[in-house]
Structure 1
Amino acid sequence: MKTVIRLGEACAAGRFHAVLQYMVLQDEAEALAGWIEPGCDLPEDCTSGLIYDSQSSKLIDKKRPTDPAQVFDLAACCWVMPAGAQWERVRRERDRLMSATDWRVTRAMEIGQALAPEWVAYRQALRDVPLQPDPFAIDWPAAPADESTEAPTEAQH
Structure 2
Amino acid sequence: MEVVVSGQEIPAPMVIAEFEWAAVRNRRDQLLRATDFTQLPDFPATDEQRAEVTAYRKALRDIPEQGAKPSEVVWPVLPAFVK
Relative to the length of structure 2, the TM-score reads: 0.70
For 2:32 and 2:65, locate their aligned partners in 1 and report how far apart those are by CA, in whole Å. Answer: 16
Matches of residues 7-156 of structure 1 in structure 2 within 5 Å? 82-106=16-40, 109-110=41-42, 116-133=50-67, 134-146=69-81, 148-149=82-83
Unaligned runs of 5+ in 2: 2-11
Q: Which whole-Å deviations, capped at 9, do the CAs of 1:37-57 have from their partners, x for residues lacking one?
A: xxxxxxxxxxxxxxxxxxxxx
For 2:71 and 2:22, locate their aligned partners in 1 and report how far apart those are by CA, in whole Å. Answer: 11
Give the partner amino acid of 1:141. Answer: P
Structure in which a larger fraction of residues adopt strand: 1
Give the partner amino acid of 1:139. Answer: V
For 2:51 and 2:70, locate their aligned partners in 1 and report how far apart those are by CA, in whole Å. Answer: 27
The DSSP-based 3-state class of the residue aligned with 1:82 is: helix
Q: Which whole-Å deviations, capped at 9, do the CAs of 1:70-92 have from their partners, x for residues lacking one?
A: xx77xxxxxxx711000000000
The sequence identity of aligned pairs, in percent, is 37
For 1:122 and 1:95, locate their aligned partners in 2 and report how far apart those are by CA, in whole Å. Answer: 13
Unaligned runs of 5+ in 1: 1-8, 10-71, 74-80, 150-157
Higher normalized contact order (CA 8 Å, seq sep 6+, divided by chain length):
2
For 2:79 and 2:23, locate their aligned partners in 1 and report how far apart those are by CA, in whole Å. Answer: 23
- 2:7 maps to none
Across the two proteins, how many residue pairs are aligned to each other?
72
Relative to the length of structure 1, the TM-score reads: 0.39
Q: Which whole-Å deviations, capped at 9, do the CAs of 1:79-121 have from their partners, x for residues lacking one?
A: xx71100000000000000000001112xx136x766110010
For 2:71 and 2:50, locate their aligned partners in 1 and report how far apart those are by CA, in whole Å. Answer: 31
- 1:54 maps to none
* Structure with the greater alpha carbon radius of gyration: 1
For 1:124 and 1:140, locate their aligned partners in 2 and report how far apart those are by CA, in whole Å. Answer: 11
- 1:57 maps to none
